[in-house]
Amino acid sequence: MPDSSSSGGTVHVIGAGLAGLAAALRLAERGVPVRLYEQAPQAGGRCRSFHDSTLDRRLDNGSHMVLGGNRALMDYAARTGGSDALTEIRPAAFPFLDLRDGAAWTLRPGGLWLFDETRRVPGSRPWHYLAALRAVTAPAPATLDEALPPGGPLHERLWRPLAISAMNGPTARVSARLFGAVIRETLLRGEAACRPVIASRGLAAAFVDPALRRLEALGGTIRFGARLDGLRFADRRVAGLSVGGASLDLGARDSVVLAAPAWVVERLVPGLRVPPPGPAIVGVHYRIEAPVPLPGGLPFLGLVGGVAEWLFARDDVVSVTVSDADALAARPADEIATLLWRDVAAALRLDGPIRPFRVVKERRATPDQAPDSVSRRPPAQTRWSNLALAGDWTETGLPATLEAAVRSGNRAAEAVFCQRSERLRSL
């Protein structure tokens, strides 16, 4: 069996989603030899892009709302060169449409916005927004409904749309504290932190492809189609890997970062507690005859009162996302597309038959984010002296988002640095 030891030790990163890419990049930037393994034929995980032959367009696997306040994600994009594929909307604006009555409004946070009724949700008053502080200070066991009881002008038109998209679950179930983290890092940090950031050429062009190029330029190696089948433990450390059908002995200075899904890591690491899988997220991409402007004039639109939750437009493709979608995901693709097309057609005032579509069902799209499940999130550091964990399901203090994935990768890299320092001190 080959031995991977080197003078400084190699770090084997398992999983090339955003968490694994962030960890690998941080390590390689510090001169650490990195080997990245990915079971799939491409990197990106839930942030991947692909060419769809039916629509003949490059599509994102799912739609993600990125904000200026996503500091780790923005720093990651800047370091890889991915910022060139991002467009920041200034000033911050979030257009919404209520499909039930046709009411339209644009939330424009920043400055003295709470005192300008044209920048708030219709019918709301400044003091209604202060209730969000109850989520910021909520105890760990509280659900969002316990911190922000349903009712009032903001629940259906702001808190619920934000919560379900950020945490992929109903307000009666998801953690108030996680929602409070969203409020703390966006609305409470000012207008710049709330600015939507659009990946105008797709998620992979901004967050995946530049990272792969940067990692290779730093000397990292990447292997696709490499499934991790097992870990061998001995003397409180990972002594070997079984990956891609081959066994690999680890040298005394080698380390492992597991950046695979929680249910995979739980199977591989003895005694590890992880949150259970959460609901599915369903996305449908429709190809329209020509680019259609969305109400509000921006490339995205929040929907209230229908099945669809968010619309995203890129050239002649309109994409719709539905979170907490286990029941919807159980239906056939053509039924899903027909159902959601009604919302799309109503929002865009389109007549005629349903347009060509592609349905994407992402089962177990996020970890469950109820308070009990959040309490099961493990830290990056483990009881094994050369093993660290990364993933949006680890303890980041945030919902399972792209920002959480990158932060977890950064923390895993720091855990590896700490482990290496401890080993050096013990020599």
CA–CA distances in Å: residue 258 to residues 215, 219, 408, 424: 18, 20, 11, 22
Give pLDDT tens digits for 1-16. Answer: 343 434 579 999 999 9
Instruction: Tell me whether the omega of the peptide bond preceding residue 332 falls within 30 degrees of 0, making it cis.
Output: no
> Which of 324, 343, 390, 330 has its CA nearest to residue 166?
324
CB-based contact 32:8 (threshold 8 Å) = yes
- Give the pLDDT mean for 100-129: 97
What local confidence, expressed as pLDDT, does residue 427 receive? 56
- H-type alpha helices, 16-124: 18-29, 71-80
What local confidence, expressed as pLDDT, does residue 91 receive? 98
pTM of the model: 0.95
| Cα(192)–Cα(75) distance, integer angstroms | 15
CB-based contact 50:59 (threshold 8 Å) = yes
* Angle, CA 145 vertex, CA 139 and CA 149 arms, to 5°: 110
pLDDT tops 80 at residue 422: no
Q: Which CATH architecture has domain 11-41+224-276+368-426?
A: 3-Layer(bba) Sandwich (3.50)
Domain assignments of the chain as residue spans, ordered by start: 11-41+224-276+368-426, 111-189
Give pLDDT tens digits for 315-324. Answer: 999 999 999 9
Give pLDDT tens digits for 322-371. Answer: 999 999 999 999 999 999 999 999 999 999 999 999 999 999 999 999 99
CB-based contact 240:55 (threshold 8 Å) = no
